[in-house]
Amino acid sequence: MSATVQPPVAPAAGTAADVAWRLESTISRLLVAGTYLAMGLVLLGVLLMLAAGIDPLAHGGVPPFELSAIPAEIAAGNPLGFLWLGLVAVLALPLGRVIVAGVGFLAAHDVRLALVSLAVLLVVLGSIVAAIRLEG
């Protein structure tokens, strides 16, 4: 006997469960769309490398990362610009999730969880700033 899997049913409108359902749905869509976008950019970068005769698996040094150079690299059709932008998008997804959750908690008037989201956001941003300062 096989059990059939039923799709989830949205809770009644206006309830706390409804707010949580809509928030999780929004976060889910953000993560799915962001993942597709990021992987599409990485794939495009790899395809451009192959078209230019560059072996994506060659064991050379890691190309330098300069966030401000990415738009110019993409405008010039440089495969590295697409690769770096795809990686930045992958790294930004968790940050986007925290931001969307925080806004959702504020919209639901859940100040305690909104403050937790803000604390997580500050820790992540502090880590990014620290990493940049240690690198330079």
**Hey, where are the domains in the chain?**
18-55+65-135
- CA 60, CA 65: separation in Å to the nearest integer? 15
CA distances from 5 to 25, 32, 103 (A): 19, 21, 32
Which residues, given as ranges, of the chain have pLDDT below 50?
none
- Please state the length of the chain: 136
- Start-end of H helices in the chain: 16-51, 70-75, 79-107, 111-135
Alpha-carbon dihedral of residues 125, 63, 133, 39, nearest 10 degrees? 0
Cβ neighbours of residue 108 closer than 8 Å, sequence gap 6 or more: 16, 19, 20, 23
Q: Looking at residue 16, what is its pLDDT?
A: 66
Q: Looking at residue 82, what is its pLDDT?
A: 96
Q: Looking at residue 7, what is its pLDDT?
A: 56
- CA 22, CA 104: separation in Å to the nearest integer? 9
Contact 84, 73 (CB under 8 A): yes
Alpha-carbon dihedral of residues 68, 71, 72, 76, nearest 10 degrees? 150
